[in-house]
Amino acid sequence: MIKNIEFTKMHSLGNDYIVINEYNGIKVEEEYKEEFSKKICKRGFSIGADGVIYVQRPENKKYDIKFRIFNSDGSEAEMCGNGIRCFSKYVYERILKKNPLNVETVGGLRISEMEIENNNVKTVKVYMGIPKFQLKDIPMVIEGKSKEDVFLNECIPLNCSLIDEIKLSVVNVGNPHAIIFIEDNPIDINFVRDNLDILGREIENHKAFPERINVHFVEVITPNEIKIITWERGAGYTTACGTGTTSSAIIAHKLGKTKDKILAHLDGGDLEVEIKKDEIYLKGDATIVYDGVLRDIGW
């Protein structure tokens, strides 16, 4: 029975998380983390969230801290841009007064640089690593392509009555993303919003993506401004996705649609992305909502 666990509820642009501090000892044993995360994230029956973040000691001395995140369906994600900003704020204000912060993630090293005011973290700028485009890194399997190929603004067939095929691009920034530009497909924003459950689920679980994929519908407003609607792998519709915003900006830039600095509008608010050669930086805020104690998970 898992009871009396202290937690902190946080969010970034409405993407909300339950943060559990395991820096000084494991609170949820490894074999229970998947089921625990599913139950604690269920809205109306528990705390409710898009995911659970565990703060742990790093396994390698080159890191300061370890970040782990589980989606609301219990699956562990490699990385999360909004989640790591919440994580970084929590770590600086509650555990380690270190800035910048070298963070160990399943997706590799991430570096958080924080803007501090009166010992409070106001914004977090995260080095998001080097993007990967080869199909073996997504992973993606599609006829006529080898694992070393890339997939940029090409069509995949869909098995739904709404649309026969959709043009998309794929990239991995620690976790995999499919980027769909509105202007390159016979759809508009209203169509996406009305049919997101169908389209998002269909593409997330498409046979081309054996490990599933995050899905983002992007509208280019100007060379420095985009709008994104997100369907997150393992969570469904979310108000914002940091790695998805990063991926959208990378692909838009690679296709010549945008410049080096991009302001992204998401349903939960705005994020800034800066591209410096192969280095990508994501900047935004994070909020601590409340602290609490989980009395009973229901087991």
pLDDT the model gives residue 278: 75
CB–CB of 90/112 below 8 Å?
no
Just list the catalytic residues.
80, 241
Q: What is the pLDDT of residues 142-170, one digit of tens each?
A: 999 999 999 999 999 999 889 999 999 99
Residue 129: pLDDT band by 50, 70, 90 thresholds?
confident
Q: What is the pLDDT of residues 190-208, one digit of tens each?
A: 999 999 999 999 999 999 9
pLDDT the model gives residue 296: 79
The CATH architecture to which 5-129+285-294 belongs is Roll (3.10)
Stretch 107-123: mean pLDDT: 95
pLDDT at 299 exceeding the cut of 70: no
- Phi and psi at 217, nearest 5°, equal -100, 125
- Phi and psi at 271, nearest 5°, equal -130, 155
* CATH 3.10.310.10, applies to 135-277: yes
pLDDT at 1 exceeding the cut of 60: no
Entry pTM: 0.88
pLDDT the model gives residue 277: 81
Burial class (CB in 10 A: 0-12, 13-18, 19+), 140: buried
List all residues 6 or more positions away from 261 whose beta carbon is below 8 Å from its beta carbon. 224, 272, 273, 274, 275
Angle at 234 between CA 161 and CA 299, to 5 degrees: 125
pLDDT at 298 exceeding the cut of 70: no
Stretch 213-242: mean pLDDT: 96
- Identical fold for domains 5-129+285-294 and 135-277, yes or no, is yes
Can you state the angle between helices 242-254 and 81-94, rounded to 10 degrees?
130
Q: What is the pLDDT of residues 9-29, one digit of tens each?
A: 999 999 999 999 999 999 999
Other C-beta atoms closer than 10 Å to the C-beta of 261 total 16
CB–CB of 189/182 below 8 Å?
yes
Length of the chain: 299
279 or 123, greater pLDDT: 123
Q: Could you tell me the residue ranges of all domains in the chain? A: 5-129+285-294, 135-277
Measure Cα distances from 182 to 36, 64, 77, 189, 236 in Å.
37, 40, 27, 7, 19
Average pLDDT of the chain is 95
pLDDT the model gives residue 154: 98
